[in-house]
Amino acid sequence: MPRGDLFPDIGPNETGYLPLSGGHVMYWEQVGNPYGVPVLFLHGGPGAGAGTVHRRFFDPVYWRAVIFDQRGAGRSRPLGSLARNTTQDLIEDIELLRVHLGVERWLLFGGSWGSTLALAYAQAHPDRVLGCVLRGIFLGREQEVAWFLYGLRQIFPEAHAAFANFLPPEERHDLLAGYISRLNDTDPAVHMPAAQAWSLYEGSCSTLLPNPDTVGLFARDRGALGLARIEAHYFANRLFLPPEGLLGHMDRIATLPAEIVQGRYDMICPAYSAFDLAACWPAAKLTVIPDAGHSALEPGIRRALVAAVERFRRQIG
């Protein structure tokens, strides 16, 4: 897939590991201008981890991009650990990282679960946020989780059949419980096939048109285990969000500027959540991409995200 609209490949100028609570260790890196305006990249999942392509959304001449793998994900250790792994823990981790790096305020950039975490962090620490660029909005509501587990069958019946039929017939009435029992098994011969089945399902439904490269990325062993195990854990616990949900606290960030980018045919995080969020956020601008699904690397999505970041650059000066 040509990605000429992203910035060129770039390596980090600093990396590190930061000890966290619960025996976790966070991987983090900084990319671009060490003296630039800070922007924090929040990956999806939960549990998916960040990749090298995510550095390319930010002009390295201007931005000081901070990228990290959330606890249990990617290069953070231990992989797939559920100990002390909640949304509140992740918010505390972000604050620990901010203080560690000496950042006063930063722009938040996140998609899918990254949009959820960005909203949760911004509501907890609005004074530390310059604004938000969010994609593929996921608000962690019960209907959104149910859509992922069961509703996607309406659009992707083959992918859903493979996902459901991984479990024996007597367990298919509760897909989440069936997967959790396997994903949390200590035997790799049990948890890895389940992780791959879960991740292949998500990858297969993430783009407007079939994309073997995207599916292949989801299927990699390490990424599949972190994504599937942690995502299932969060789903089973209502994403560790308050009963009133994220929309119940939008007053805390009502004046924060935001850009919301949403694929019209996003089947992982359907567009109604982006519209619900925009309706509660006077300072937000919603852009719907008419020919895109969920992935940040869909051509229209990635162009819109880069453009949104560049608009923030002009606002900040």
- State whether the Cα torsion 103-108-109-115 is positive or negative: positive
- Residue 117, Cβ neighbours under 10 Å: how many? 25
Instruction: For residue 183, give every residue at least 6 positions away whose Cβ sits within 8 Å of its Cβ, in sequence order, or none.
Output: 191, 194, 195, 198, 228, 229, 232
Q: DSSP letter string over 266-314?
A: -SSS-THHHHHHHHT-TTEEEEEETT--S-TTSHHHHHHHHHHHHHHHH
Last residue of a domain, one of 206, 222, 238: 238
Same domain, residue pair 222 and 73: no
Tell me the average pLDDT across 99-119.
98
> What's the CA gap between 53 and 217, in Å, rounded?
12
Same domain, residue pair 308 and 271: yes
Q: Is residue 295 part of a domain?
A: yes
Domain count for the chain: 2
Same domain, residue pair 105 and 30: yes
Query: Known catalytic residue: 112?
Result: yes
The separation between CA 277 and the C-alpha centre of its own chain, rounded to angstroms, equals 16
Q: Is residue 7 part of a domain?
A: no
Q: How does pLDDT run across 147-161, given as a tens digit for each residue?
A: 999 999 999 999 999
146 vs 220: which has the higher pLDDT? 146
| H or E stretch covering 199 | helix 188-204
Residue 30 DSSP SS3? strand
Can you state the angle between helices 221-236 and 175-183, rounded to 10 degrees?
Answer: 130
Would you state the pLDDT for residue 215?
59
Last residue of a domain, one of 221, 238, 255: 238
- Selecting among 76, 81, 112, 199, the annotated active-site residue is 112
Q: Is residue 2 part of a domain?
A: no
Same domain, residue pair 31 and 122: yes
Same domain, residue pair 157 and 253: no
- Selecting among 160, 266, 273, 295, the annotated active-site residue is 266
219 vs 301: which has the higher pLDDT? 301
Same domain, residue pair 219 and 266: no
Whole-angstrom CA distances from 33 to 60, 64, 87, 91, 96 are: 6, 5, 30, 25, 21
Same domain, residue pair 101 and 42: yes
Q: For residue 54, which amino acid is it?
A: H
Q: Is residue 63 part of a domain?
A: yes
Q: Is residue 9 part of a domain?
A: no
Would you state the pLDDT for residue 209?
81
Would you state the pLDDT for residue 2?
42
Would you state the pLDDT for residue 1?
37
Last residue of a domain, one of 238, 265, 286: 238
The residue segments making up the domain with residue 98 are: 14-141+240-316
Q: How does pLDDT run across 250-299, given as a tens digit for each residue?
A: 999 999 999 999 999 999 999 999 999 999 999 999 999 999 999 999 99
Query: Known catalytic residue: 266?
Result: yes
Same domain, residue pair 130 and 244: yes
Same domain, residue pair 86 and 147: no
Q: Is residue 24 part of a domain?
A: yes
Same domain, residue pair 27 and 113: yes
Query: Known catalytic residue: 294?
Result: yes
Q: Is residue 8 part of a domain?
A: no
Same domain, residue pair 82 and 126: yes
Binned at pLDDT 50, 70 and 90, residue 46 comes out as very high
Same domain, residue pair 157 and 210: yes
Residue 51 belongs to a domain with what CATH number?
3.40.50.1820
Q: Is residue 206 part of a domain?
A: yes
